[in-house]
Amino acid sequence: MKNFVLTFIMILLSSLSIAQTQQGTVEVYGTAHYERKVECYQVEIEIIRSVAEYNSHESPPLSMDQLEVRFFKNMKEAGFGQNEFEPARKNDYYTMENPDERRFYTFETTSEERFIEFIKLKKADWIYYSNKKVTYKPFTEKEKIITEAIEDARKNATVLAKVMGTKTGRILSISDFHYETDSLPSFSLEDHLETYRIAVKFAVE
């Protein structure tokens, strides 16, 4: 029977991710899930003349200005106006030493559907998407989410305390392990979902 109880406690510790016990205390993780609100979606675009020249069957090869005109013509035919693209500055070798080698633009939209439609477009081999990201609005429901995470931690601590033959008491300390950035370098629908994670130490009686 004693071995069974020990095995059960080990399984429980694993399922709670963290569970530390000291004399008179128990510490567990608590989590809460929430959905972030999108500010905008962005795609950084490079028009690369050297790639176009390498793969071109035209003689002479198109200039950078001609490639730019062709890019916007293709975008217009796909339903994207030139006013949806903003020139982007890049302080790197290509813009300082070879201004006619590459041109940089940023496509920005607040519509997820429009964003997905754009990145799925068939594009020429001299068009490169160097970065796709989603930027979020400031997080404004922190108190609500932390409260939910504390309640989750209390449930986990209550189960553990019951196994040990004790009861949870007051909260002794809370450690916040949540890290939040205002943008993500890649995009998928799941990226909107965040998990807030804290560690809570309870007194046990």
As a whole number of angstroms, the distance between CA 190 and CA 171 comes to 33
CA distance 128 to 14: 45
Q: 5 vs 165, which has greater pLDDT?
A: 165
| Mean pLDDT to the nearest integer, 131-145 | 87
User: Residue 175 class from Cβ within 10 Å (0-12 exposed, 13-18 middle, 19+ buried)?
Assistant: exposed
What pTM does this model have?
0.67
pLDDT reported for residue 17 = 44
pLDDT of residue 134: 86
Cβ proximity of 148 and 198 under 8 Å: no
pLDDT digits (tens, 9 = 90+) for 22-41: 568 889 999 999 888 888 99
CB 145, CB 196: distance < 8 Å: yes
Residue 186 CA to residue 192 CA, distance in Å, equals: 11
Binning pLDDT at 50, 70 and 90, where does residue 5 land? very low
pLDDT computed for residue 2 by the predictor: 43
Q: What is the pLDDT of residue 194?
A: 84
Q: What is the pLDDT of residue 205?
A: 84
pLDDT at 92 over 90: no
- For the record, the structure tokens of 99 come out as 């201004």
Go through 127-152 and write b for each residue having 16 or more CB atoms within 10 A of its CB, e for each that does not.
beeeebebebeeeeeeeebbebbbeb
Sign (positive or negative) of CA dihedral 119, 124, 125, 131:
negative
Mean pLDDT across the stretch 33-58? 83
